[in-house]
Amino acid sequence: MKLYFAPESRAVRIAWLLDELGLKYEIERYTVGDRALRTPEYQKIHPMGRIPVLEDGDVRIYESGAIVEYLLAKYDDGKLSPSPKDDDFPEYLQWLHYAEGSIMPQVNILVVETILLPPERRNDTNVARALKLLKVILSNVNNRMEGRDYLTGKFSGADIMTGHACFGAKNAGADISEMPNVQAYIDRLLKRPSLEKARSL
């Protein structure tokens, strides 16, 4: 199994999950914005020149959420994902997809407007709107985490997706100073050995 990886990217989610599942894998390492990702050779691996990509035998799959679902469907024994027959399966799915459906679109705007664009092309209105929306989006997580350690009963793939998005949002500038449950949740996740390992790759 091979993971095309860059630090501080969504590929961290995949390395984290692979380690949580005890799966062996090799890494093809890049950096975010690496010119090698724009070459015709790499675009045969990912047509848009992005990270992550997972190769598992004859399977090649990208989109971090799809990779998480694939790995859990193929290799999980119920440790990190409930059965569709379980009562908490609908909520698990909701929080699994909350990362890319709600949190990360606003994080992407912040990254583009505050890091990737040169100062003369940045739009303060876009930044303000993204921060305002993130406050609402993360407040929902804060409410969900009241009295909980994880999003759906026990640690699961939903925490790998949405937990990762929460600390990505904080790192991008989201204000969680009035969201103690989100901060405690992030702190709890960052202490997991598999995430520590993935962030150090």
* Residue 19 and residue 107 in one domain: no
In a domain, 93, yes or no: yes
The answer to whether the predicted template modeling score (pTM) of the entire model surpasses 0.75 is yes
Q: Which residues contact residue 122 at a Cβ distance below 8 angstroms, ignoring those fewer than 6 apart?
A: 113, 114
* Residue 67 and residue 128 in one domain: no
* Residue 16 and residue 65 in one domain: yes
* Overall number of domains in the chain: 2
Q: How far apart are CA 176 and CA 193, in angstroms?
A: 24
Q: Are strands 59-62 and 53-56 parallel, antiparallel or unpaired?
A: antiparallel
Name the strands in the sheet holding 59-62, side by side, starting at the edge strand that comes first in the sequence: 26-29, 2-5, 53-56, 59-62
* Residue 168 and residue 191 in one domain: yes
Q: Which pLDDT score is estimated for 153?
A: 84
Residue 119 maps to which CATH number? 1.20.1050.10
pLDDT tens column, 119-163: 999 999 999 999 999 999 999 999 999 999 999 989 999 999 999
pLDDT tens column, 47-75: 999 999 999 999 999 999 999 999 999 99
Give the domain extent around 29.
Answer: 2-76
| Mean per-residue pLDDT, 89-114 | 97
Residue 51 maps to which CATH number? 3.40.30.10
